């Protein structure tokens, strides 16, 4: 899997520290500054600072914000001398899954990264299934729903959908371990479902359809995110960005279109897959349009 945005940003700031550009006692960019500079969400920016703390490069100091540690030395998650704990095990597992995918995660692979014997992990987690459960909890706590919630059912459903989309963009492995039809029962999932039902309670639609939307809306987000994950895999396999692939394929595509059997396709000038965020926004907007139209007719 490709390196997630929070890790790339943490590595950039970490390089500024280890190279001496940022010295002990210097402030590192705040979460708000990271948001503006790298154009990321607050949850991602907060995760960057946590990664830097986990790496042993920075510390939080009252009145000064986040600063470079007095003796900044990059400490990997797998430093043998670090104390083993469930949180440390889970953080390491998330890093493996972010970089390589959930299929590449194993207790042996995790033990190698942490520099410990595989059996020592079982003192903290029962096995991979329990580890995955804790990993999901570890990740979802970085994506809280807005408090207070936005006004109106449409804004609330858009907010929870964007939150889920951002989680999948940052952690595509979630698509491998989390399904909407057989979800892990945890606080975050229950909170998202309650949020969705509360928003839909404002509309005059059948109660059964409200329950179906608890499945349908996140399923739509997962489907769109799966397109993104497949595209990321194709980029890694081919070494070509989406735009580069289309540019190389354009001549062949135009030859097929020139025979006159595809008059509508031949007039297309916009590549719908260049901007997957825009594709997500379109899908959610059209889905909510359908809910609104059905509510106006007195049902779905």
**CA dist., res. 201 & res. 291, Å (int):** 12
CATH of 5-68, one of 1.10.10.10, 3.40.30.10, 3.90.1150.10, 3.40.50.300: 1.10.10.10
- Taking domain 153-296, whether its CATH number is 3.40.140.10 is answered by no
pLDDT for the residue numbered 276: 85
pLDDT for the residue numbered 289: 96
Instruction: Give the start-to-end residue ranges of the domains of the chain.
Output: 5-68, 86-140, 153-296
The answer for residues whose C-beta is within 8 angstroms of residue 138's C-beta and 6 or more apart is: 87, 90, 91, 94
> pLDDT by residue for the chain (300 residues), tens digit each?
456 788 889 888 988 887 788 888 888 998 889 998 998 888 888 888 888 887 778 888 766 688 888 754 444 444 443 467 888 899 899 989 988 888 889 998 898 888 888 888 888 898 888 999 999 989 998 899 999 999 999 999 999 999 999 999 989 999 988 888 777 777 888 899 999 999 999 999 889 999 999 999 999 999 999 998 888 888 878 888 888 888 888 888 888 888 888 888 888 776 666 688 888 999 999 999 999 998 876 555
Locate 62 and state its tokens.
Answer: 């009252």
Q: Is 171 helix (H, G, I), strand (E, B) or coil?
A: coil
Stated as kind and residue range, the H or E segment containing 61 is strand 58-61
Q: Which residue in 85, 76, 144, 150 sits closest to 113, CA to CA? A: 76
Q: Is 44 helix (H, G, I), strand (E, B) or coil?
A: helix
Strands (E), 121-238: none
Q: Which residue in 136, 122, 60, 54 sits closest to 94, CA to CA? A: 136
- Is 22:69 a contact under the CB 8 Å cutoff? no
Return the DSSP state at 27.
Answer: B
Locate 173 and state its tokens.
Answer: 């492995």
pLDDT for the residue numbered 79: 46
Secondary-structure class of domain 86-140 per CATH: mainly alpha
CATH topology match: 5-68 vs 86-140: yes
pLDDT for the residue numbered 78: 43
- Is 130:140 a contact under the CB 8 Å cutoff? no
- Is 226:175 a contact under the CB 8 Å cutoff? yes
């Amino acid at each position: 899997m490709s390196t997630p945005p929070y890790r790339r940003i943490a590595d950039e700031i970490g390089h500024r520290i280890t190279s001496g550009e940022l010295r002990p006692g210097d402030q590192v960019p705040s979460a708000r500054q990271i948001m503006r500079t790298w154009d990321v969400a607050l949850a991602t920016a907060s995760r960057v600072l946590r990664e830097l703390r986990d790496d042993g490069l920075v510390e939080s100091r009252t009145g000064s914000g986040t600063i470079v540690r007095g003796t900044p030395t990059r400490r990997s998650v797998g430093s043998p001398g670090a104390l083993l704990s469930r949180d440390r095990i889970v953080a390491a597992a998330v890093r493996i899954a972010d970089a390589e995918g959930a299929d590449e995660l194993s207790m042996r692979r995790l033990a190698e990264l942490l520099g410990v014997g595989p059996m020592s992990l079982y003192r903290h987690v029962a096995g991979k299934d329990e580890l995955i459960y804790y990993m999901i909890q570890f990740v979802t706590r970085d994506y809280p729903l807005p408090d207070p919630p936005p006004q109106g059912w449409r804004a609330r459903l858009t907010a929870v959908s964007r939150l889920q989309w951002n989680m999948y963009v940052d952690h595509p492995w979630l698509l491998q371990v989390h399904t909407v039809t057989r979800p892990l029962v945890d606080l975050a999932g229950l909170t998202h479902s309650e949020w969705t039902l509360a928003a839909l309670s404002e509309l005059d639609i059948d109660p059964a359809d409200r329950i179906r939307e608890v499945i349908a809306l996140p399923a739509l987000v997962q489907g769109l995110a799966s397109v993104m994950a497949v595209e990321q895999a194709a980029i890694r396999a081919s070494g070509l960005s989406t735009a580069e692939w289309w540019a190389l394929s354009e001549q062949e595509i135009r030859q097929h279109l020139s025979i006159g059997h595809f008059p509508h396709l031949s007039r297309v000038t916009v590549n719908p897959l260049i901007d997957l965020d825009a594709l997500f926004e379109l899908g959610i907007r059209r889905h909510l349009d359908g809910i609104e139209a059905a509510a106006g007719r007195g049902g779905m």
